[in-house]
Amino acid sequence: MKIRILLVDDEKEYVETLAERLRNRGFHVTEAFSGSEAVEKLKGYNFDVTVLDVKMPGMSGIETLDEIKKLKPLTEVLMLTGHGTIETAIEGMKKGAYDYLLKPCKMDLLLEKINGAYERKSEHEERIRKAMVDKLSTSPMSVFEK
């Protein structure tokens, strides 16, 4: 299955170029140009990895990260940051982001981080699946439990 990526940045041209390059490499990419738009898109769709700019007008990167983790805790987040905002990226990682990347980032490095984030998400999902199966195997009725 294709890795589903949500690209979030207010720099429209940057997002569109990056999205195209990622699509050419076989990823399923959705674009968002603000934190609030990203949150809306996340509500109806499961993304594997969100690539999120730290510095955005309106809802900030950190606020968006908080919302993402509230809505879809398993979605991994990669923070995109400039030299001046590394502190914010570190704060993001403390709040559950997978890693950060300095803008402008090299494609190879971005792919490596996206794959790493996806692997972590898959492992996490596998553990949840196993726990679910263990429970359902002995108690099918637990399928109705929240």
Partner 1 sequence: MEHNHTEADKTKKPGLLSNKLLWLIIGAACFIIIGFIIPTPQSLVELVEKQKIAEKLIGWHIAHDAGQAAWKAKLVLGMIPMAVIYFATEALPIGLVGILMPVFAYFFQLLPTKMIGQTFAGDAPLFLLGVLAMGVTVIGVGLHKRLATWILGWTRGFVVPIVVLCVAMSVLGSFISAHAMAAFMAPVMAAVYMGAVSGNNNQGVIEHDPQLAKLLLFALCFALNVGGVGSPAAGGRNVIMMGFWSDYNVPMSFGRWMMYGFPLTPVLGLAVAIYMLFIFRKVKTKDLTPGLLAIKEETKKMGKMSYAEKVAFGMMLLILFLWIVGGHGLGLGGPALLALVIPVVFRIGDWRKILGGISWDAWFMYCGALTLGALLQETGAALWLAQIFLGSLAAVGFGKGLGLWIGMSSFSGLVTNFMSDAGTTALLGPIAVPMGIMSGVHGEPWSIGLATAFATSFAHFLIVGTPNNAIVYGLGVYPDTGQRMISPIDFVKYGFVLWLISLAIVWVLGFMVLYNVVGFPEGITETAKAVLMSSPH
Question: Binding of partner 1 at residue 46 (CB under 8 A)?
Answer: yes
State how far the Cα of 142 lies from the Cα of 59, in Å rounded to an integer.
39
Could you give phi then psi for residue 10, rounded to 5 degrees? -80, -10
Residue range at the interface with partner 1 (CB under 8 A); choices 20-28, 80-88, 95-103, 104-112: 20-28
Question: Binding of partner 1 at residue 131 (CB under 8 A)?
Answer: no
Mapped onto helix, strand or coil, the DSSP state of residue 99 is strand
| CB of 20 or CB of 112, closer to partner 1 | 20
Name which position in 14, 21, 28, 67 contacts partner 1 (CB under 8 A): 28
Neighbour-count burial of 98, counting CB atoms closer than 10 A to its CB (0-12 exposed, 13-18 middle, 19+ buried): buried
The residue type found at 80 is: L
Q: How far is CA 96 from its chain centroid?
A: 10
Name which position in 57, 73, 83, 94 contacts partner 1 (CB under 8 A): 73
Residues 74-103 that bind partner 1 (CB under 8 A): 74-75
Residues that bind partner 1 (CB under 8 A): 1-2, 4, 23, 26-29, 44-46, 72-75, 125, 128-130, 132-133, 136-146
